[in-house]
Structure 1
Amino acid sequence: MAIVEVTVAPLGTESTSISSYVAGCQKILEKQDKVKYTLTPMGTILEGDLNDCMKLVRKMHETPFQVGAERVTTQIKIDDRRDVNGTMEQKLDSVKTKINKDS
């Protein structure tokens, strides 16, 4: 199970706002059911099979081009852990446990 953080940003558009582009990427995710996802203020977290995640990243990357962007930058971080079945919730719970332990 992979956890992938992706941020897709069009460059050189007429506006400094990118929320409509983010919405387009989210629509890609809503149309599928293989990968769990969470929108954050700075990007989107995907959780699932790495191949499935990367196919979605590719579709998300293409979305701004389809509505007129001339240049798109996409940042990807991959946490592909194979010793345990890690999830987004498990990662957060692990940190919270350590915070509570030290309190």
Structure 2
Amino acid sequence: MAVVEITVIPLGTESTSLSKYVAGCLQVLQQAGDIKYQLTPMGTVIEGELTKVLELVRQMHEQPFMAGAQRVNTIIRIDDRRDKQATMEGKVRSVEAKLVTPGGTV
């Protein structure tokens, strides 16, 4: 299973607000149904089988064009681990387990 971070940046839009384009990209993931994802302030993290996720990334990249953007810059980071199952939560838990504050807690 892959964990993929994607940031879709529409350029050449009528406004500096991009939330309608982000919503269009998230609709692609909602319609996919069996994909786990998390919206963050600067992008979206997707978890799933790499071939399916890459197809969804392509669809997300197309969304701003369909909404009138003249140019789209898409940034993708892929963590595709083959030695064991990787999940978004597992990656976060692994870091939190190693993060100890002076009081001994996370």
Structures share fold, TM-score greater than 0.5: yes
Residue 28 (structure 1) shift: 0.8
- Equivalence for 1:41: 41
Q: Across the two proteins, how many residue pairs are aligned to each other? A: 103
- Equivalence for 2:23: 23
Instruction: Judge conservation of contact 1:34–1:52 (CA < 8 Å) in 2.
Output: no
1:48-67 pair list within 5 angstroms: 48-67=48-67
Q: Percent identity?
A: 57
Return the alpha-carbon distance in structure 2 between the equivalents of residues 19 and 79 of structure 1.
26
Instruction: Show structure 1 runs of 4+ deviating over 2 A.
Output: 100-103
> When the two structures are superposed, what TM-score results if normalisation uses the length of structure 1?
0.95
Mind listing any 5+ residue stretches in structure 2 that lack a counterpart?
A: none
RMSD: 1.3
SS of structure 1 residue aligned to 2:65: helix
Mind listing any 5+ residue stretches in structure 1 that lack a counterpart?
A: none
Deviations 1:48-87 (A, max 9, x none): 0000100000000000000111100000000000001010
> When the two structures are superposed, what TM-score results if normalisation uses the length of structure 2?
0.92
